[in-house]
Amino acid sequence: MRIAFLTAPEGVEQVELTDPWKAALDAGHTPVLVSTERGEVQGFDHLDKADTFPVDEVVGEAAADSFDGLVLPGGVANPDVLRADEKAVAFVRDFFTQGRPVAAICHAPWTLVEADVVRGRVLTSWPSVATDLRNAGATWVDEQVKVCDHGPNKLVTSRKPDDLKAFSETFLDVFATEAATRA
String of DSSP letters for 130-181: HHHHHHTT-EE---SEEEE--SSS-EEEE-SGGGHHHHHHHHHHHHHHHHHH
What CATH number did the domain enclosing 36 receive? 3.40.50.880
Q: Are the C-beta atoms of residues 172 and 29 closer than 8 Å to each other? A: yes
Q: Are the C-beta atoms of residues 53 and 25 closer than 8 Å to each other? A: no
- The residue type at 30: T
Domain count, the chain: 1
- pLDDT number for residue 42: 98
* Residue 106 annotated among the catalytic residues of the structure: yes
Of 166, 165, 172, which is closest to residue 28 (Cα–Cα)? 172
Gyration radius of the chain's alpha carbons: 14
Query: Of 29, 46, 106, 150, which residue is the catalytic one?
Result: 106
Using one digit for the tens of pLDDT, what is the confidence trace for 45-74? 999 999 999 999 999 999 999 999 999 999
Higher pLDDT, 124 or 183: 124
Q: Give the DSSP letter of residue 59.
A: B
Determine the 3-state secondary structure of 2 from DSSP: strand
* pTM exceeding the 0.75 threshold for the entire prediction: yes
Of 130, 122, 182, 126, which is closest to residue 155 (Cα–Cα)? 122
Residue 17 predicted with pLDDT over 90: yes
Q: Give the DSSP letter of residue 161.
A: G
For residue 41, what are the domain limits? 2-182
What CA–CA distance (Å, rounded) separates 59 from 36?
Answer: 5
Of 114, 182, 171, 183, which is closest to residue 147 (Cα–Cα)? 171
Give the model's confidence band at 182: pLDDT under 50 very low, under 70 low, under 90 confident, else very high.
Answer: confident
Give the model's confidence band at 151: pLDDT under 50 very low, under 70 low, under 90 confident, else very high.
Answer: confident
Q: How much is the average pLDDT of 74-98?
A: 97
Of 58, 4, 16, 14, which is closest to residue 35 (Cα–Cα)? 58
Q: Give the DSSP letter of residue 29.
A: -
Burial (CB count <10 Å: 0-12, 13-18, 19+), residue 54: exposed
* Residue 148 annotated among the catalytic residues of the structure: no
Q: How much is the average pLDDT of 72-94?
A: 97
- The residue type at 74: G
